[in-house]
Amino acid sequence: MTGRRAPTEEELFSFSKEVLSLSKKTRNHQVQLQPSSPGDVAFSAAEEMKTCVAARVGPSTVHGRGLFAERAFRAGEVIVEERPLVAMQDVKSRQEVLCCGRCLSFLEVQIPVGLTRRDVHDQIVGGELLTSVVPCGDCCGELYCSEACRDAHGEHRVLCVGRTTEEEAATDPIVAFKRLAVESNEILLLAAEALQLEEGLFEPFHAQEWSTVVDAARALRRQEPDLELARTLDELCADASGLLAAAGLVVSPERISLLVGLFEQNNVAVEVAAYGVRRIRTGDDDGLDDGLDDGLDDDARLNCAVVSREPLDELDKDTDSNDDDAPTCYGTALFSTCCAANHSCLPNCKVVYPAKTTKTPQPLKAHLVALTDIPAGAELFISYVDERLSTKRRQRATADYGFLCACQRCIDEPPDDEELDDDFPPLDSDDDDGHL
């Protein structure tokens, strides 16, 4: 789980006007993204599922199904390259960093210090800011890297409420649904968008209802069943389903619960800092390198941030992903192939999202990269958890995915003196089931 703060009441109202998203569930993957070019970004589900795959999904002796190498790989080779089935940016990150609502590329303008996402959106819609960024046609606040991405994002229509007034928001079921999701678990927003996709896309993934996933994890940790929590999760799915149905969607509480359970156990986290970004503060004449602010009028130059299209080696050496002024995107994604890999505390591959610093960067893609030499036919493993944890803490963490790890490392590694006891007490209050 992430330890990011809960949104404020003021932010909640702002969030409810836009498509907002993300599960707090994360896996131990570091993500690197880059600005997008307005090129071929209207990709189909088939393209997202398999861009470049040299692995196959098949029965595993370790855990259900698994992913296997179709040929031998050397350490460092890319085994799989694919686009996500679904991917969304989280609520708080949306208010700090502008990414394409469809492909999660960094947009060429960013939110300046002292302004809000809505301020920048209104500048774009009003023509005050000259940019290739494309707003939602109904001006709900969503932004895209291109018209192609906007037009391809049909799922957005589920949660789009246009420019809603406070009076309209008070009775709008979609606004109420967004408030419910943000106040409980943001993954409901991802589930709502996924309802518009072909159901068959998710059939290969193991799916259990949300409360069942939570109950199973508690049982694996040797915790007593929490009937009140299970009832709360079921009621939450029923409330969410009712609000979506009131907006005209065909949906059931069971379908919402299955989608949330699927995402909780299969999604991977997105965490990426933008490379080559200059965040301009109001009145800062030195915020951009010469030439990077071409095309902006004087007011816009002082009231936006621009993503450089220059290669990284042409930027200042002190510009990196740890720069406090560099926007960082947090999100979640589901991949058809990479997410089929089973877990090991001694993984032989890793999911990464390479940062391309060319002038024509691409939307989000995952690379499954070999960490060791891998023979043809071998099963491919990634780590779902922080590999630095002690054995029992790693096992407690894997309980969220429906099992206690019994890989060779967990078998061979002697317990530390400071290991958790056999009852697997909670690590902290934010790491409990349900994320309420």
DSSP state of 287: S
Q: Please tell me the predicted confidence (pLDDT) of residue 278.
A: 45
Residue type, 412: D
CA distances from 97 to 110, 119, 197 (A): 6, 13, 26
Q: Please tell me the predicted confidence (pLDDT) of residue 174.
A: 95
Q: Please tell me the predicted confidence (pLDDT) of residue 290.
A: 37
Residue 113 in this model has a pLDDT that exceeds 70: yes
| pTM across the whole model | 0.76
Residue 258: helix, strand or coil by DSSP?
helix
Residue 67 in this model has a pLDDT that exceeds 90: yes
pLDDT per position as a tens digit, 162-219? 888 888 889 999 999 999 999 999 999 999 999 988 888 898 998 999 999 999 999 9
Residue 34 in this model has a pLDDT that exceeds 60: no
82-110 average pLDDT score: 88
pLDDT per position as a tens digit, 252-297? 999 999 999 999 999 988 877 776 544 443 334 433 333 333 433 3
Residue of 424 and 362 predicted with greater confidence: 362
Q: Please tell me the predicted confidence (pLDDT) of residue 5.
A: 39
Query: How far is C-alpha 282 from the geometric centre of its chain's CA atoms?
Result: 30
**Burial class, 40, CB count within 10 angstroms (exposed 0-12 / middle 13-18 / buried 19+):** exposed
Q: Please tell me the predicted confidence (pLDDT) of residue 23.
A: 29
- Among 366, 434, 400, 395, CA closest to 266: 400
Sign of CA dihedral 423, 258, 92, 96: positive
Residue 191 main-chain phi, psi, to 5 deg: -60, -40
Confidence of residue 242 (pLDDT cuts 50, 70, 90): very high
Residue labelled with tokens 């902006």: 296
Confidence of residue 45 (pLDDT cuts 50, 70, 90): very low
pLDDT per position as a tens digit, 328-376? 788 999 999 999 999 999 999 999 876 543 234 458 888 999 999 999 9
Residue 4 in this model has a pLDDT that exceeds 60: no
* CB 56, CB 70: distance < 8 Å: yes
Q: Please tell me the predicted confidence (pLDDT) of residue 372.
A: 96
Q: Please tell me the predicted confidence (pLDDT) of residue 319.
A: 34
Residue of 422 and 262 predicted with greater confidence: 262
Q: Please tell me the predicted confidence (pLDDT) of residue 52.
A: 81
Distance between CA atoms of residues 405 and 395, nearest Å: 5
Q: Mean pLDDT for the chain?
A: 75
Distance between CA atoms of residues 89 and 117, nearest Å: 14
- 59 CB-near residues (< 8 Å, 6+ apart): 65, 66
Q: In which element (H, E) is residue 212 found?
A: helix 210-220
Residue 158 in this model has a pLDDT that exceeds 80: yes
Give percent of the chain with pLDDT exceeding 70: 69
300-314 average pLDDT score: 33
Residue of 422 and 301 predicted with greater confidence: 422
Q: What angle do CA 291, 297, 302 make, to 5 degrees?
A: 80
Residue of 358 and 91 predicted with greater confidence: 91
Confidence of residue 129 (pLDDT cuts 50, 70, 90): confident
Which of 42-46, 100-104, 130-134, 375-379 has the highest average model confidence (pLDDT)?
Answer: 375-379
Q: Please tell me the predicted confidence (pLDDT) of residue 224.
A: 94
Residue 434 in this model has a pLDDT that exceeds 70: no
138-143 average pLDDT score: 88
Residue 100 in this model has a pLDDT that exceeds 70: yes
Dihedral in degrees, nearest 10, Cα atoms 433, 211, 193, 112 = -10
Q: Please tell me the predicted confidence (pLDDT) of residue 326.
A: 63
Distance between CA atoms of residues 434 and 432, nearest Å: 7
Q: Please tell me the predicted confidence (pLDDT) of residue 355.
A: 58
Residue of 435 and 95 predicted with greater confidence: 95
Q: Please tell me the predicted confidence (pLDDT) of residue 206.
A: 85
Dihedral in degrees, nearest 10, Cα atoms 408, 409, 414, 418 = -140
Residue 418 in this model has a pLDDT that exceeds 60: no
Q: Please tell me the predicted confidence (pLDDT) of residue 110.
A: 80
E-strand stretches of 238-327: 268-273, 277-278, 305-307
Alpha helices in 283-340 (DSSP H): 298-302
Residue 93 in this model has a pLDDT that exceeds 60: yes
Q: Please tell me the predicted confidence (pLDDT) of residue 270.
A: 82
Q: Which of these ranges, 11-15, 38-42, 112-116, has the smallest mean pLDDT?
A: 38-42
